[in-house]
C-alpha cells in the first residue's frame, strides 16, 4: 500500500513537471490551426523526455550529482559557464511565461486584468519557495493539474467525429497555412514537451531526496507513467482545439481560447475546472522553473543549494531564486503579451535544447561515473536518434521563426 | 591527476557543499619533484581560469560584495582531502574553513533580514 502511494506521488510529480504554459499554448495552437497533424511531434517529444529524464534520474541516483554539476565537469569551466548563461536566460524567460500563465488563469476565473495579478503571482511563488515543504506542493499542483482531464471528457461530451479526428492525426498536413508555419508549430510543440528545466528539476529533486540505486526502479516507473499521462493531457488539448476552435476559425491569443472547448461543453463549471487546471500547471511550473534557474547556478559554482537546508545556509542559492522571480515579474510588467512571450520562450528553448541534452547523453555513457549502469545499446541508439531530432529543432528554430514571422 | 580534480564538487565531512575545485596549485618537494599542493575555490580563481572578458566580468561582479580586493580564493591544502569519487570529500567541517565572502555578505544584508531564514523548507 505504501509502495503504491509512493508510486502515485512520483507520477503526480512527473505529470506536474510535464504540462505547463508552453504546452497549453502550443498544443491549442497546433490543434486550432492544423488539426491533429502534430500528434506525432507530441509522441516524439514524450519519448524524448522519457528517455532523457530516465538517464538524468539514473545519473542522480548512482552518482548523487545533479545534471548541471556534471555539465561543468564534462565541458570544463568556460564552456559550461556559457551554457549556464544561456540555460539561465531560457529558464528565467520560461519562469516569466509561467507567471504570465498564472496571472491569465486567475483573470480567467475573476475577470480582473492580468497585469494586477503578475506581482501577486510572483510573490506567491517566491513565498512557496521560501517556506513550504516542496514535495507536498509539487504533489498538490500535480493532482490539481490532472483537472486538465476535463478536456478529454469534453471530447466525449461534444459531438466529436472520431473517424475524422483519427484521420487528421495520420494524414494531416500544412492545411493551407504553409509548411513554414507547420514546422514552426512543430518546433514549438516539441520544445514545450522537452523543456530543459524538466530535467534540471527532475535530477536535482532526485539528489535532494537522496535517491540511491535502490530507488532507480521507482524513478523509472514515475517517468515512464507520469510523462505519458502529461502527453495524453496535451493530446486532449490538441484534439479539443481541433474539434472546436478549428471549425470556428478561432486562433489562440489567450487562455480563454484554450478553455473555450470545455466552456462550450460544460459552461461555467467547465470554465472553473479549466481555470483551476491552468492555475495548477502554471503555478507548479513556475515553482519548478524558479528552482531550476537557481539549481543551475548553484551547481555550476558549487554553492550549497536545496530546500533541505535553511535559506541562511544557502544564501547564494536563495538570492538567485529571489532575483530570478523578480526578473520574471519585471519582464511581464513591461506589458509584453504573455502568450507571445510563451511563443518566444519556446523558440529560445528549442535553440538551447542541445546544451542540456548532449551532456546528459555523454555522462550516461561514462563508466567512471556510472560503472555498469551506463546506457545499454538500445537506449543509446534511441537517444542518439532523438539527439539528432533535438539538434535539428535547435538549428531550424530561429530561421523558421524569422522566415515565418513567428508562424504567421 | 589535476584533470580529475578540476571542476569537481568540494564536500565537507558532513556532506555540505563548499564550492568547486576552481584551480589547483602545485608545489616542489625538497628533491625538486612537483606535487599537488593546494586546491583553490572562489570566483577569483574561477575567473582567472575561465579567462577572457567573461571571466573578468564574473570576478568583478563577485568583488562588489567584498571589501578587501582582489578577492583571495579559499585555499585548501591537499592533505585535507579524504577521498575522491564523483566529488572531492574533505576531512574537515565547513565551519573550520573561512566562510565564502559573497555568501556572508548576502546573508548579512539580504537573506537574514527576511523572516524565516533560519528554517529549512524540507
The CATH number assigned to the domain holding A166 equals 1.20.1740.10
Residue that is written with C-alpha cell 541534452 in the block: A357
Could you tell me which residues are beta bridge partners of residue B25? B38
pLDDT at position B121? 66
Q: Which three cell numbers stand for residue A41?
A: 511531434
* CB within 8 Å of B88: residues ≥ 6 apart: B5, B8, B9, B10, B11, B21, B39, B81
Confirm whether B24 is domain-assigned: yes
Q: What is the mean pLDDT of chain A?
A: 92
Percentage of chain A beyond pLDDT 90 is: 75
Name which of A73, A60, A128, A70 is nearest A98 in CA terms: A128
Rg (CA), chain A: 20
Which residues of chain A have a CB within 8 Å of the CB of B2?
A: none
Query: Which residues of chain A neighbour B86 with C-beta distances below 8 Å?
Result: 63-65, 369
In tens, the pLDDT along A75-85 reads: 889 999 999 99
The verdict on a CB contact (< 8 Å) between A77 and B19 is no
Is residue B121, in this structure, part of any structural domain at all? no
Long-range (24+ apart) CB contacts under 8 A made by A268-274 are: A270/A150, A270/A154, A271/A108, A271/A109, A272/A109, A273/A147, A273/A150, A274/A108, A274/A147, A274/A150, A274/A151
Test mutation, B5, B7, B117, chain A, max A CBs within 10 A: B7
For the record, the C-alpha cell of A215 comes out as 530507488
Residue A108 located in a structural domain:
yes
CB-hemisphere CA count at 13 Å for A290?
Answer: 32
* Residue A315 sits at the chain B interface (C-beta within 8 Å): yes
B16 assigned to some structural domain: yes
* Residue A408 maps to a domain: no
Place of cell 478536456: A151
Residue in B closest to A316 by C-alpha: B103
Contact A315 B110 (CB under 8 A): yes
To which H or E segment does residue A231 belong?
helix A216-240
pLDDT in tens, A24-59: 999 999 999 999 999 999 999 999 999 999 999 999
Asked whether residue B120 is assigned to any structural domain, the reply reads no
Residue at B109 is within a domain: yes
> What is the edge-to-edge ordering of all strands in the sheet holding B17-20?
B17-20, B9-11, B87-90, B81-84
Structural domain for B12, as ranges: 2-113
Q: Is residue B10 part of a domain?
A: yes
Q: How many CB pairs under 8 A join A and B?
A: 100
Q: Is A107 on the interface with B (CB under 8 A)?
A: no
Q: How far apart are CA A367 and CA A250, in angstroms?
A: 53
Kindly report the nearest CA distance between residue A160 and chain B, in angstroms. Answer: 46
CATH code of the domain containing B86: 2.30.30.240
Query: Residues A310-359: pLDDT tens digits?
Result: 999 999 999 999 999 999 999 999 999 999 999 999 999 999 999 999 99
User: Do the Cβ atoms of A316 and B106 come within 8 Å?
Assistant: yes
Nearest to A312 among B8, B112, B121 (CB): B112
Bond from prior residue into B70 cis (ω within 30 degrees of 0):
yes
Interface test with B, best of A84, A205, A301, A325 (most B CBs within 10 A): A301
Residue of B nearest to A209 (CA): B122
pLDDT greater than 80 at residue B3: no
Domain that holds residue A51: 2-403
Alpha helices (runs of H) in chain B, residue ranges in sequence order: 2-5, 43-50, 52-63, 101-109
- This complex has an ipTM of 0.94
Band (pLDDT 50/70/90 cuts) for residue A363 is very high
Indicate if the alpha-carbon torsion angle B9, B12, B13, B14 is positive or negative: negative
Nearest-by-CA chain A residue for B105: A315
Q: Do B16 and A76 touch (CB under 8 A)?
A: no
Count of domains for chain B: 1
- Across the range A160-181, mean pLDDT stands at 87
Contacts of B116 in chain A (CB under 8 A): 130-131, 311
What's the structural domain count of chain A?
1
Nearest to A254 by CA among A131, A116, A106, A141: A106
Amino acid at each position: 500500500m505504501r509502495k503504491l502511494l509512493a508510486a502515485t506521488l512520483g507520477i503526480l510529480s512527473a505529470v506536474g513537471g510535464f504540462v505547463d504554459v508552453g504546452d497549453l499554448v502550443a498544443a491549442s495552437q497546433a490543434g486550432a490551426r492544423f488539426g491533429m497533424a502534430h500528434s506525432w511531434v507530441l509522441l516524439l517529444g514524450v519519448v524524448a523526455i522519457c528517455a532523457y529524464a530516465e538517464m538524468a534520474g539514473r545519473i542522480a541516483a548512482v552518482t548523487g550529482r545533479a545534471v548541471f554539476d556534471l555539465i561543468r565537469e564534462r565541458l570544463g569551466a568556460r564552456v559550461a559557464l556559457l551554457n549556464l548563461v544561456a540555460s539561465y536566460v531560457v529558464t528565467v524567460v520560461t519562469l516569466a511565461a509561467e507567471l504570465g500563465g498564472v496571472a491569465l488563469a486567475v483573470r480567467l476565473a475573476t475577470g480582473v486584468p492580468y497585469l494586477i495579478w503578475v506581482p501577486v503571482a510572483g510573490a506567491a511563488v517566491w513565498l512557496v519557495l521560501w517556506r513550504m515543504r516542496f514535495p507536498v506542493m509539487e504533489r498538490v499542483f500535480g493532482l490539481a493539474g490532472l483537472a486538465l482531464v476535463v478536456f478529454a471528457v469534453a471530447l466525449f461530451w461534444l459531438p466529436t467525429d472520431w473517424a475524422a479526428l483519427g484521420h487528421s492525426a495520420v494524414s494531416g498536413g500544412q492545411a493551407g497555412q504553409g509548411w513554414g508555419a507547420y514546422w514552426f508549430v512543430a518546433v514549438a510543440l516539441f520544445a514545450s514537451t522537452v523543456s530543459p528545466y524538466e530535467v534540471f528539476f527532475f535530477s536535482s529533486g532526485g539528489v535532494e531526496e537522496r535517491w540511491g540505486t535502490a530507488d532507480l526502479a521507482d524513478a523509472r516507473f514515475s517517468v515512464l507513467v507520469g510523462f505519458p499521462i502529461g502527453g495524453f493531457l496535451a493530446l486532449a488539448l490538441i484534439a479539443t482545439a481541433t474539434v472546436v476552435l478549428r471549425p470556428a476559425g478561432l486562433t489562440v491569443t489567450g487562455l480563454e481560447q484554450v478553455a473555450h472547448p470545455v466552456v462550450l461543453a460544460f459552461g461555467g463549471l467547465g470554465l472553473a475546472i479549466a481555470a483551476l487546471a491552468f492555475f495548477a500547471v502554471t503555478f507548479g511550473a513556475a515553482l519548478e522553473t524558479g528552482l531550476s534557474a537557481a539549481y543551475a547556478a548553484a551547481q555550476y559554482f558549487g554553492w550549497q543549494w536545496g530546500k533541505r537546508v535553511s535559506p541562511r545556509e544557502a544564501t547564494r542559492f536563495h538570492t538567485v531564486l529571489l532575483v530570478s522571480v523578480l526578473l520574471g515579474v519585471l519582464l511581464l510588467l513591461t506589458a509584453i503579451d504573455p502568450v507571445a512571450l510563451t511563443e518566444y520562450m519556446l523558440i529560445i528553448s528549442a535553440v538551447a535544447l542541445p546544451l542540456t541534452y548532449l551532456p546528459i547523453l555523454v555522462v550516461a555513457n561514462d563508466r567512471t561515473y556510472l560503472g555498469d549502469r551506463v546506457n545499454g545499446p538500445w537506449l543509446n541508439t534511441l537517444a542518439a536518434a532523438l539527439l539528432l531530432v533535438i539538434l535539428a529543432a535547435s538549428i531550424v528554430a530561429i530561421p523558421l521563426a524569422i522566415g515565418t514571422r513567428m508562424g504567421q | 591527476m589535476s584533470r580529475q580534480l578540476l571542476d569537481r564538487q568540494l564536500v565537507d565531512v558532513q556532506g555540505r557543499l563548499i564550492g568547486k575545485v576552481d584551480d589547483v596549485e602545485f608545489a616542489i618537494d625538497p628533491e625538486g619533484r612537483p606535487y599537488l599542493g593546494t586546491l583553490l575555490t572562489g570566483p577569483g580563481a574561477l575567473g582567472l581560469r575561465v579567462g577572457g572578458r567573461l571571466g573578468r566580468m564574473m570576478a568583478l561582479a563577485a568583488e562588489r560584495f567584498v571589501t578587501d580586493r582582489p578577492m583571495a580564493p579559499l585555499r585548501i591544502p591537499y592533505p585535507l582531502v579524504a577521498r575522491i569519487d564523483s566529488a572531492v570529500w574533505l576531512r574537515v567541517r565547513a565551519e573550520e574553513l573561512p566562510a565564502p565572502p559573497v555568501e556572508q555578505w548576502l546573508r548579512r544584508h539580504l537573506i537574514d533580514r527576511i523572516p524565516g531564514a533560519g528554517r529549512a523548507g524540507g
